[in-house]
Structures are given as C-alpha cells and as structure tokens.
C-alpha cells in the first residue's frame, strides 16, 4: 500500500474512532499504524506518521494544527520510548519540516515545541523549549551551537516581540547552555531544590521556587539594541578558590544570632554582638572581581531577624493608588528579574584611620568594608508602577524603605531610610528588590529573604530584611536615617550636633559613594627580600578603586615621593557599562615599579579619579561619624633584616581593622602619647591591691552592672547584687550608685534601720589615697570623657537656677541651666532625677520628674508644689526641699543625679519595667497633686510621635480647682488629640464645676478609664492614701492584674 492510500485510510480511521471512542483510543490506533509503517518503511517512519497526522488534522483543524500533531506523536512515543522521547520528536519534526520548509525551519521547530509545552507547562516554558533544541543541535552541530541557538531564538522572538528582543534572545540562549545546572519549577520536569541543612536555622530549612546556578556567566545590559557578538560577552565569575565553610561560631553562643553560620575568617569589629565584620584584605583580593558570600563584609545594627520564605511579605503603601503586600513568590515570578554585579561599600570604610587622629562615634572599619556580588531581583520601579505611585503633584516625593529588625535607637525603632522618588523610578538607577546573591538565596546576615540594592550608593541605604516601602511627601523619619550616614563639618562633635540639630540638615546626608582607592599589594607587614633574583624583575603594586553614582574610574595614580610626581596605573575593569553608561562595580589597578625605587621610597600613596574629575584629598578630613574617608592611601616602607645576612623592604599599612594592633598610624600615635600613657600607669598603680579584705576604688568601679553591684559607704565596700531586685526604690536607684562612693546619698535618704541592714552585705574596706592623687585622676577622667547628655550615671551634676515663676498660690516652675548650653538632660521618659541640697548642714535629696521635653537643649524645668510650714497639721514643718527651693535666689547652684526609676517608656506603647519589656495600647493614668509630672512626661512623649497611637485616660485628683497643675496644657491636648481623655476630681468645688467632686472612687474609675486587659496598663503616682484606699481597690475590681498591669512611680 502506498503512502497516499495510507493517508486516505487514516482519514477514515480517525473519523471513525473520533465518533466512537476517546482520544486514548486514537493514540492506541496510532501505535498500530506506526508499527505497521515500521514494517514497510523502517524506523524512520515516525516522521512520516507526524506528516500524515498533520495533514489529516489540517483538514479538520486548519494549518495551525502542527502542535497538536506533535503532541499526539509525543504521547505515542512516550508509551514506547519513555519520557525521554521529547528530543526524538523534535529531531523527527525538524527532519519533516526540513523536507517541506528547508533548513531554516529550526525557528519554526522552537515555536512549535514552545506551543506544545505551553499547553502542559504554562507560558514560562520558553527556556525549556530552547534548552531542548540546544540539546538536539548539540547532537548534530556539536557544542559550539550556542550561537546558532541565539540567532534562531532571536528570529523567532523578532516575529512576536520586534527587533528589540536581542537581550531576551541572548538570555534564553545562554539559559540553554547551562540547562543542566538550572532548577526548573515547571511541573513534570526534574526539580533541583537548593537546601542547606541546619537543625536550628529557620532559613536553611526552606525550599525555594527559584533556580540556582553552580557556574553562571553574567551578561551586562548592553547599550546597543543590535545583536551582541560572542566576543563582547564577559564572564564575571572569578571565584576560583574554595571558601572555607561557614560554621556556628562559638563566639555567637549566648547571643540572639547563635543560629547563624558565619565564616571564621571574618574579622569581628564590635565584639560578639551585634555582628559587624570585614574579611582580611589580602583574602578579599585573592578572590578577584566577585566576592564569595561567606567573605562579604557585614554591617548589622542589632539581632538578625528570623525569617520564612513562604511567610515573608513586602508591603507597599502610602501615596500609591493600589497598596499591596507582595509575597516572595510574587516578587520572583510576577516581575521581570534584573541581575547585575554591584559593589557594596560601607560609608565607614577606612574609618579606623580617622579614629587614630581623633575618636569618632563609630567603630574601627579597615579598608575591606567593600565587596562585590551579582544580585538578582525585581526592579523597584516595576513594583512601584504596579502599585500606581502618585505624581509629584500628588505629594509623592520620597520612597521610604523599612526593615524588620527591632533596634534601640531613638527609644526603639526599625532601621529605615529613604530616597527621592526620581531616583527610585529612574530606569538608569538599576535599583532592585534583591532575593539572590551570586546565584543563591540571601544569607541571613545579608538580608534574607529580601533586601534593597541601590547601585552606586552607600551600603547604609540598602535596607536589609525589607518589610515596607512607603511612598511619602517627607523623607524617612527613622532614627537611623538622621543619626547615621552623615558627613558633618570637622568642627562639629557629637555634643554640638545634638545641641544644634546638625543631624537634620539635609546637605550633610550621604547617598552616593565618593571616589576611593586602596593599596592591597604589598600587604601589611609583607617583606620583599632584596637579592639578585628579585632585583631582576619589577614589583607589581596592586589595589582596588571605586566611585559612586555609576561614574567610571578613569585614572589611578601612584606616588613614591610625597606627591611631587605621579605614575599612571593600568586599570582592569571587568564590567562593561550598562545601557545607560553606568559603572556599578570596583575596578583593579596595578603598576610595575623597580625594586630600587621602592628602596629609595619612604612611602607609597595612591589616588584615583573618576569621569567627573573628582579625586581624593591628600590629607584626612575628620568628621564625627568617621564617614567617607578617602584621603590618599599611604603605605610606609622601611629597610629591614628579616634573617641573618638578608635585607628586605617591609611594608606597613595605616591601620589594622577592629581592635587589632598594628599599622604606622597606630605606631605613630603610641609614640605621641607615650608620656600620657606613663602618667596613667603611675596613677593607677597604687590602686591595684588584691588583698582579700581591702579593695581599691578602681576595683569597685568595675562592679557597676546589674550582674555585679558594689558600693562604698563610709569607707566600707558592700556587695548588693542580691538585694537589687528587692530594693523598694527599684533597680535604677541602686545602679546609678553602683561602683561609686555613695555615702552622702545613702545617708540622706535611708533610716537607721536601713543602715543596720546594710551590714549584711559588707565585704571589705576601701583603700584610701591622697586627695592630690584623686584630684589628678578626676582631671584625666574629665578630659577623656565627652558626653552630650548632662546626666552621668553615678555622678552629681551641678546646675544653676536661672529662673523661677509662680503658677499658683503654692505652685512654682523652676528652670535650671545644664552645665553647657549644648547639653540635653539625657533623662529617659518615665524616669526621674534626684535633686540634692545641703539644708541646715544636712544633705537633703528628693526625686522629681522634669516637665520639659526630654530633648530640650541647655536647661530643664521642674514643676514643684511648695508645702509651707504650718499649713498641714500632719506635716507642721512643711516640705524641707520645697521650702528650700522657694527661698533660693536665682543663680544658686544645686546638684542633680540620675537617671532614677524602674519604668521607662520606649515609645509606641512599649515600656521597660525592671529591664523587662511590656506593651500597652491603652494607659489608665491616675495622678494626685504633683504626681501629674511623670504622667505629663509620658503623655508628652506619646503626642510628640505622630505614629504613636497609644490611648491615654487621665484621672487627676486635687484638693481644689486652683491646685490643678498644667491644666491648660492637659485641656489643650484633650481638645486636639482623640487619644487623650482627661477627667478631674477635686475635694472642694465651686459653681460651674463640671467634673467629679470628692475622691477617686470605683465609679469614677469605671466611667473614665478602660477595663483591665492584657493590653491595658495602669500608671499611678500620688499620695500613698490615694494609691492604697482608692486606686488599688478600684483597679482590682476592674480586672487589673495588680502585679503585671499596675505601674507606680
């Protein structure tokens, strides 16, 4: 039977079986036909079968039925050849189409295969189709067929996407070449899950719906839309060395980061916790362009948040039309991915050099706070466009970024920052929400599961553990947005910055990196031997350079004569510019120098230039944060004798990172301060007495923490650690005196009975020294310590009375000047201070809460009620301290001491009680008389924060209406703020009084404060009878837990 007759017969059979049986039966019949054809036409008959089926289906389905035909044949062959038959089908289809369409039919084959796979695998199957075609072509054209694949893919995509599809074609073509390394997520294909096993890590136990690469070739975004030649593509993967595996470091034991694996080679800069580290400089450079993730520098402000890939979301809100919350799966699959190499640099890179000149507020970064990775993620602009970001007219001026970690700064806040909307939406900025680093999911220290990458910016703007993106009119209000990453003028220290608000001046914020360069070879303390062999060849100086904002480093120069002459270096720039001409990565420089030149040189220095002709300054420019240090990097040289009979050149870098000693700046500082060190040693020596029953003051000062509390009273040393938690005045009242001689304070506020109890804690005697020695030691201490806060725990601070005003018959407002006009008091919200004075030759101390704001600069206010002599029969002598204050003339000096108290309000409903956290959404505030001041302080702090929605219900009791303190302020707050409710109670009323009369009762409480719940706290301050007979019984009946939900000041 000829083929034509077979076709006719097949038409009849297909029609018959379609009318009587299901598709499965048709498949069975095709098996028979293929078997029949095999007897007459041999094994090559499958192609004929496809052709026949196609012709038949064309009659009923039209010309677009090729995909169906191939699908049917694939089903058939699967029964006889197994799942691996796809490639056989493609070869057959290619051969068939070659007969009818010529050799250029490969593109049609890819389209057909894609259509078939799309039916079973979804639209994302293009990469699989191309990968399969690549495998087929490899069999017929060899391994060099990648170029053919790319050309074919381009032609196919050009039909559907236009000529601008080159980048897509290349990407798909390269996917084909590494198809065996990919993790496919399509159903029915092999799935390779990247899983690292760690029993206590919430990160490693997840499986991710994204692929990872073992060896990856990265293609930069070309500035051309034309086809890219093979020779123009560059490989960025230079990680040839194996990196030592990360471990659960014993140094993290006992910290909140104990579950994280870290590389032991990293140099820790801030002790055990939080984790801040950089790699050894030579180790960093040995890996070349791409830094292995375990050696990438780390900057953490606090504990690393634990995260789950499946549960993590990123919220986009604020000035957008469509607020949304994106899961990780959505970020990975719903947005086009951008993958590019980016160099990250901490703004504190090389800070230790500044700390050698004058201490900054930051820790000691060396020259390795720089690393480069290939980052992959969704473009920020795409996400914002999806959510409908508003225009500038609509108020959208800033994009705020907020992380997940809970940090202590500013009384408790998230790490956050912001960037201008124009930057966020600029396609040239390449800002991405990254979820892959070097082809792997992010490590916990680097922001797992998602972080922001802003190429060309400092690392401090690239928020890790990204939780929220808020489009706003104002820039971020995060504490860390203002109190970090600034370059203030050199004359501004921390005190001045706090006093004059330098932190908030926009002109000093850091965004883009500045130009910088470093010498990495020779390394620190490297010795170059001078002999007949080394003299015959030059020595190669090497290092890195980078700039910010995508600017190209155009020139690197080295001087060996102090800047009189400069030599141009050769630059190795592994990256190519983006389509917008941006350079996001570091480059490497090198220079061959003769050995004799090194012998003659006392110093080698490097500087770099970028395309805007910015360069590095010759001398270090100090700033209080130690940021952006980019002066010439200088390496000192000296001739040495490493071994007997040998001569060499030893090289010395400026510093060593962290607390490591070494470096010419360290050596120079030690020489300059040798006399001062000798003085300190001579002063401290007499104090080091280790007798079992006698202790020096230096030893006592070491015991000033909650874990070990020593005090000195009348020359005796007492160990009070066990008594701290039971002290009626709270933990702080002892801790502020821990490690000090507090004889006067103790006598002023304790009874004879308490003094007798103290003997149970006596452990020895204090060694006495001369007044001269103590005076000298005190002077050195004062010079060494600079504080922006006036309060220094454990020390008395003299303050001048600068004004006093009468606000009622017995109410006075006293204003005290701080020691400096640049100081703030430094009193946490919820705590109070001791005011001390000598009255009738006796020390008198009383606790007061200031009514001035906690950030008031230069002074503080005390609102005090004067208890006059003879007015109250219970206290005929009146108030000793209040009457003394009443009698003081302006200009008098008094001492303050603090902070004192066991309650601290951290903001947004968060309290710390005896060091333990407590949260409340509602506050029942019960005050009597001057007990209003701590309530006022807390209310003031809540209302100052527009995002603090804590509800406040104040019941304030007094004898008469005239005795109500701060009434105007309280009434104004109640009018302006919906979360403030105020109710007054007085014993004596007059006409028109609209509040309660008498005393605080259960009915008053039930009507004006909320019932007791887990999220309600009661704050009370007033006369003991009010607390004992009114507050406690009433709250107990309203279901308040007296131990957990009542705080008394």
Which string of DSSP letters, residue by residue, matches 539-564?
A: EEEEEEEE-STTPPEEEEEEESSTTS
User: In this predicted structure, what is the pLDDT of residue 152?
Assistant: 57
584 or 33, higher pLDDT: 584
Q: Is residue 171 part of a domain?
A: yes
Query: pTM for the whole thing?
Result: 0.51
Q: H helices of 520-654, where? A: 595-600
249 C-beta neighbours (distance < 10 Å), count = 19
Helix (H) or strand (E) holding 633: strand 633-640
In angstroms, rounded to a whole number, what is the distance separating the alpha carbons of residues 938 and 920?
Answer: 13
pLDDT in tens, 875-919: 788 888 889 999 999 989 988 988 888 888 988 899 888 878 889
Helix (H) or strand (E) holding 480: helix 479-482
Same domain, 957 and 1048: yes
Kindly report which listed range (444-458, 708-722, 962-976) carries the lowest average pLDDT score.
708-722
Question: Is pLDDT at 140 greater than 60 in this prediction?
Answer: no
Confidence class for position 861, pLDDT limits 50, 70, 90? very high
**Nearest by Cα to 763 from 794, 706, 720, 708:** 720
Same domain, 564 and 628: yes
Kindly report which listed range (425-439, 686-700, 817-831) carries the lowest average pLDDT score.
686-700
Same domain, 660 and 700: no
Kindly report which listed range (152-156, 482-486, 723-727, 814-818) carries the lowest average pLDDT score.
152-156
The pLDDT of 193-212, averaged and rounded, is 34
Pick from 184-188, 260-264, 737-741, 747-751 the range whose average pLDDT is largest. Answer: 260-264
In angstroms, rounded to a whole number, what is the distance separating the alpha carbons of residues 843 and 862?
Answer: 20
User: In this predicted structure, what is the pLDDT of residue 70?
Assistant: 62
Kindly report which listed range (68-72, 175-179, 734-738) carries the lowest average pLDDT score.
175-179
15 or 264, higher pLDDT: 264
Q: Is residue 585 part of a domain?
A: yes
> What is the extent of the structural domain holding 647?
516-672
Confidence class for position 524, pLDDT limits 50, 70, 90? very high
The pLDDT of 1013-1027, averaged and rounded, is 90
The pLDDT of 660-669, averaged and rounded, is 89
User: In this predicted structure, what is the pLDDT of residue 645?
Assistant: 66
Question: Is pLDDT at 87 greater than 90 in this prediction?
Answer: no
Taking every pair of Cα atoms in the chain, the longest distance, rounded to a whole number of angstroms, is 133
Mean pLDDT score across all residues of the chain:
79
Same domain, 660 and 720: no
Q: Is residue 508 part of a domain?
A: no
Same domain, 166 and 109: yes
Same domain, 534 and 655: yes
505 or 99, higher pLDDT: 505
Phi, psi for residue 1019 in degrees, rounded to 5: -110, 130
Question: Is pLDDT at 704 greater than 90 in this prediction?
Answer: no
In angstroms, rounded to a whole number, what is the distance separating the alpha carbons of residues 521 and 542?
Answer: 5
Report the DSSP pairing between strands 451-453 and 432-437.
antiparallel
Report the CATH number that the domain containing residue 650 is assigned in CATH: 2.60.40.650
356 or 44, higher pLDDT: 356
Pick from 384-388, 532-536, 722-726, 866-870 the range whose average pLDDT is largest. Answer: 384-388
Q: Is residue 735 part of a domain?
A: yes
The pLDDT of 790-810, averaged and rounded, is 85
Pick from 618-632, 818-832, 974-988 the range whose average pLDDT is largest. Answer: 618-632
Which parts of 223-312 are beta strand (E)? 247-248, 261-262, 267-268, 276-278, 298-299
In angstroms, rounded to a whole number, what is the distance separating the alpha carbons of residues 949 and 942?
Answer: 8
Q: Is residue 497 part of a domain?
A: no
Same domain, 632 and 711: no
Kindly report which listed range (38-42, 737-741, 913-917) carries the lowest average pLDDT score.
38-42
Same domain, 566 and 651: yes
The pLDDT of 40-69, averaged and rounded, is 57
Phi, psi for residue 887 in degrees, rounded to 5: -85, -15
The pLDDT of 186-202, averaged and rounded, is 31
Report the CATH number that the domain containing residue 742 is assigned in CATH: 3.10.120.10
The pLDDT of 495-500, averaged and rounded, is 92
User: In this predicted structure, what is the pLDDT of residue 221?
Assistant: 41
Question: Is pLDDT at 23 greater than 70 in this prediction?
Answer: no
User: In this predicted structure, what is the pLDDT of residue 254?
Assistant: 85
pLDDT in tens, 366-417: 999 999 999 999 999 999 999 999 999 999 999 999 999 988 888 788 999 9
Which parts of 785-913 are beta strand (E)? 797-806, 811-817, 832-839, 842-848, 859-865, 893-900, 903-907, 910-913
Contact 632, 607 (CB under 8 A): yes
Same domain, 721 and 586: no
Query: Of 672, 700, 727, which residue sits at a domain end?
Result: 672
Which parts of 443-500 are beta strand (E)? 451-453, 466-472
In angstroms, rounded to a whole number, what is the distance separating the alpha carbons of residues 986 and 542?
Answer: 81
Query: Of 181, 212, 232, which residue sits at a domain end?
Result: 181
Q: Is residue 712 part of a domain?
A: yes
Kindly report which listed range (434-443, 987-996, 1011-1020) carries the lowest average pLDDT score.
987-996
Catalytic residues: 346, 484-485
In angstroms, rounded to a whole number, what is the distance separating the alpha carbons of residues 905 and 900?
Answer: 13
273 or 688, higher pLDDT: 273
Query: Of 181, 216, 233, which residue sits at a domain end?
Result: 181
Same domain, 562 and 695: no
Same domain, 922 and 977: yes
Q: Is residue 955 part of a domain?
A: yes
Q: Is residue 664 part of a domain?
A: yes
Contact 395, 476 (CB under 8 A): no
pLDDT in tens, 620-653: 999 999 999 999 999 999 988 776 667 899 999 9
From first CA to last CA, the distance across the chain in angstroms is: 106
Kindly report which listed range (257-266, 421-430, 606-615, 821-830) carries the lowest average pLDDT score.
821-830
User: In this predicted structure, what is the pLDDT of residue 493?
Assistant: 93
As for how many domains the chain has, the answer is: 4
User: In this predicted structure, what is the pLDDT of residue 132?
Assistant: 58
Question: Is pLDDT at 91 greater than 80 in this prediction?
Answer: no
Same domain, 654 and 720: no
Question: Is pLDDT at 497 greater than 70 in this prediction?
Answer: yes
pLDDT in tens, 299-322: 999 999 999 999 999 999 999 999
User: In this predicted structure, what is the pLDDT of residue 33?
Assistant: 54
């Amino acid at each position: 039977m000829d083929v034509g007759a077979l076709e006719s017969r097949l038409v009849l059979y297909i029609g018959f079986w379609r009318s009587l049986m299901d598709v499965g039966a048709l498949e069975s019949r095709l098996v028979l036909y293929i078997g029949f054809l095999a007897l007459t036409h041999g094994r090559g008959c499958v192609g004929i079968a496809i052709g026949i089926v196609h012709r038949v289906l064309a009659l009923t389905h039209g010309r677009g039925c090729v995909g169906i035909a191939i699908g049917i044949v694939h089903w058939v062959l699967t029964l006889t050849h197994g799942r691996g038959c796809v490639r056989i089908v493609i070869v057959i289809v290619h051969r068939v189409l070659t007969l009818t369409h010529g050799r250029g039919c490969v593109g049609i084959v890819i389209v057909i295969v894609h259509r078939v796979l799309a039916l079973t695998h979804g639209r994302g199957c293009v990469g699989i189709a191309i990968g399969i075609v690549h495998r087929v072509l490899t069999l017929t054209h060899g391994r060099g067929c990648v170029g053919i694949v790319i050309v074919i893919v381009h032609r196919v995509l050009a039909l559907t996407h236009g000529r601008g599809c080159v980048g897509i074609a290349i990407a798909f073509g390269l996917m084909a070449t590494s198809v065996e390394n990919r993790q496919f997520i399509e159903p029915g294909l092999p799935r390779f899950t990247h899983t690292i096993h760690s029993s206590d890590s919430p990160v490693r136990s997840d499986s991710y719906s994204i692929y990872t690469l073992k060896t990856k070739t990265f293609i930069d975004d070309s500035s051309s839309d034309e086809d890219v030649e093979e020779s123009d593509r560059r490989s960025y993967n230079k990680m040839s060395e194996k990196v030592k595996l990360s471990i659960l470091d014993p140094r993290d034991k006992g910290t909140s980061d104990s579950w994280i694996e870290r590389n032991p080679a990293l140099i820790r800069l801030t002790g055990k916790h939080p984790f801040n580290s950089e790699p050894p400089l030579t180790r960093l450079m040995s890996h070349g362009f791409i830094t292995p993730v375990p050696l990438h520098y780390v900057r953490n402000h606090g504990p690393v948040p634990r995260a789950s890939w499946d549960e993590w979301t990123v919220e986009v809100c604020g000035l957008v039309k469509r607020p949304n919350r994106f899961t990780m799966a959505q970020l990975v699959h719903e947005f086009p991915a951008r993958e590019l190499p980016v160099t990250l640099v901490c703004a504190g890179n090389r800070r230790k050099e500044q700390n050698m000149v004058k201490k900054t507020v930051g820790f000691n970064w060396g020259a390795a706070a720089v690393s480069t990775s290939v980052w992959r993620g969704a473009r920020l602009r795409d996400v914002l466009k999806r959510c409908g970001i508003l225009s500038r007219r609509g108020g959208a001026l800033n994009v705020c970024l907020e992380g997940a970690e809970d940090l202590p700064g500013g009384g408790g806040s998230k790490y956050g920052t912001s960037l201008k909307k124009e930057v966020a939406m600029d396609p040239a900025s390449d800002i991405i929400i990254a979820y892959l680093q070097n082809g792997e999911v992010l490590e916990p220290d680097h922001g797992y599961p998602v972080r922001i990458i802003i190429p060309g910016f400092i690392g401090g703007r690239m928020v890790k553990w990204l939780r929220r993106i808020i489009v706003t009119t104002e820039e971020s209000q995060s504490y860390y947005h203002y109190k970090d990453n600034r370059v203030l003028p050199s004359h501004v220290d921390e005190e001045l910055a706090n006093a004059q608000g330098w932190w908030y001046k926009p002109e000093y914020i850091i965004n883009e990196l500045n130009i910088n360069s470093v010498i990495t070879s020779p390394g620190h303390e490297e010795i170059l031997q001078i002999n007949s062999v080394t003299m015959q060849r030059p020595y190669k100086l090497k290092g890195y350079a980078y700039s910010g904002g995508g600017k190209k480093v155009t020139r690197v120069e080295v001087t060996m004569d102090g800047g009189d002459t400069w030599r141009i270096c050769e630059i190795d720039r592994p990256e190519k510019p983006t389509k917008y001409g941006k350079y996001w990565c570091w480059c490497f420089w090198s220079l061959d120098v003769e050995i004799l030149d090194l012998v003659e040189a006392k110093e080698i220095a490097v500087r770099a230039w970028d395309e805007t002709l910015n360069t590095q300054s010759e001398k270090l420019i100090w700033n209080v944060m130690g940021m952006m240090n980019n002066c010439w990097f200088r390496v000192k040289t000296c001739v040495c004798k490493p071994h007997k009979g040998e001569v060499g050149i030893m090289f010395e870098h400026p510093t060593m990172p962290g607390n490591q000693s070494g470096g010419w700046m360290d050596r120079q500082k030690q020489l300059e301060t040798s006399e001062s060190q000798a003085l300190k040693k001579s002063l401290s020596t007499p104090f080091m007495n280790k007798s079992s029953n006698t202790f020096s003051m230096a030893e006592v000062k070491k015991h000033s923490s909650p874990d070990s509390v020593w005090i000195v009273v009348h020359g005796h040393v007492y160990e009070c650690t066990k008594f701290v938690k039971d002290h009626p005045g709270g933990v702080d009242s002892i801790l502020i005196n821990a490690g000090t001689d507090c004889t006067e304070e103790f006598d002023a506020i304790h009874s004879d009975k308490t003094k007798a109890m103290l003997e149970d804690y006596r452990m020895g005697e204090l060694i006495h020294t001369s007044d001269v020695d103590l005076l000298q030691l005190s002077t050195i201490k004062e010079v060494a310590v600079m504080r922006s806060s006036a309060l220094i725990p454990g020390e008395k601070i003299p303050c001048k009375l600068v004004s006093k005003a009468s606000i009622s018959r017995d109410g006075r407002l006293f204003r005290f000047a701080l020691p400096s006009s640049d100081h703030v008091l430094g009193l946490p919200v919820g705590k109070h201070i001791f005011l001390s004075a000598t009255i009738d030759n006796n020390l008198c101390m009383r606790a007061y809460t200031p009514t001035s704001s906690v950030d008031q600069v230069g002074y503080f206010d005390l609102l005090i009620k004067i208890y006059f002599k003879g007015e109250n029969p219970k206290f005929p002598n009146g108030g000793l301290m209040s009457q003394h204050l009443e009698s003081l003339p302006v200009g008098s000096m008094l001492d303050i001491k603090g902070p004192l108290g066991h309650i601290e309000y951290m903001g947004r409903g968060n309290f710390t009680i005896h060091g333990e956290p407590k949260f409340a959404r509602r506050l029942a505030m019960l005050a009597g008389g001057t007990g209003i001041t701590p309530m006022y302080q807390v209310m003031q702090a809540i209302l100052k924060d527009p995002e603090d929605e804590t509800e406040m219900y104040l019941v304030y009791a007094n004898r008469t209406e005239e005795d109500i303190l701060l009434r105007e302020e309280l009434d104004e707050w109640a009018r302006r703020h919906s979360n403030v409710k105020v109710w007054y109670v007085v014993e004596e009323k007059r006409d028109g009084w609209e509040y309660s009369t008498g005393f605080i009762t259960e009915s008053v409480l039930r009507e004006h404060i909320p019932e007791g719940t887990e999220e309600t706290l009661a704050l009370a301050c007033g006369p003991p009878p009010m607390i004992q007979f009114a507050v406690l019984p009433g709250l107990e009946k309203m279901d308040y837990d007296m131990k957990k939900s009542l705080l008394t000041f």
